[in-house]
Amino acid sequence: MLDILAILLCLSILASGILAVRLNNLMAAMVSAGLSSLFASVCYVLLAAPDVAMAEAAIGSGLSMLIFLYAIRKTSAESPSADKQAVDNIVAAKE
C-alpha cells in the first residue's frame, strides 16, 4: 500500500512539473512548481526521512516559491499602452 502511494506521489511530482513548464501564466506555473516540491516532501516522509521532508517543505516549497512569486510580481509591469488607456479612461470620466 505504501508503495502505491509513493508511486502516486511520484506521478504527481511529474505531472506538476510538466504543468509548470507548459503553463503560460507565470504565477500558475510557479504555484505548480511549488506543488511539485510539496509532493516531494510528502514522498520523503513516506520514505522515512522526516528531516529531509521538513527541509524540502520549508525551503523548496515555502521560501523559494515566495521569493519567485515576489520577483515575478515586482518585474511584471503594465505595458505603456495600458497606462495610456487608463489615463484616457480617467480623462473621459471627468468630462
pLDDT average, residue stretch 22-40:
89
Under the banding of pLDDT at 50, 70 and 90, the label for residue 28 is confident
pLDDT average, residue stretch 41-49:
91
What tens digit of pLDDT does each residue of 47-81 get?
899 999 999 888 888 888 888 888 888 887 654 55
What pLDDT is stored for residue 21 in this prediction? 92
pTM exceeds cut of 0.75 = no
Contact between residue 69 and residue 27 where contact means Cβ atoms under 8 Å apart:
yes
What pLDDT is stored for residue 26 in this prediction? 84
Rounded Cα distance between 77 and 66, Å, is 18
Rounded Cα distance between 18 and 57, Å, is 20
Asked if residue 85 has pLDDT above 80, the reply is no
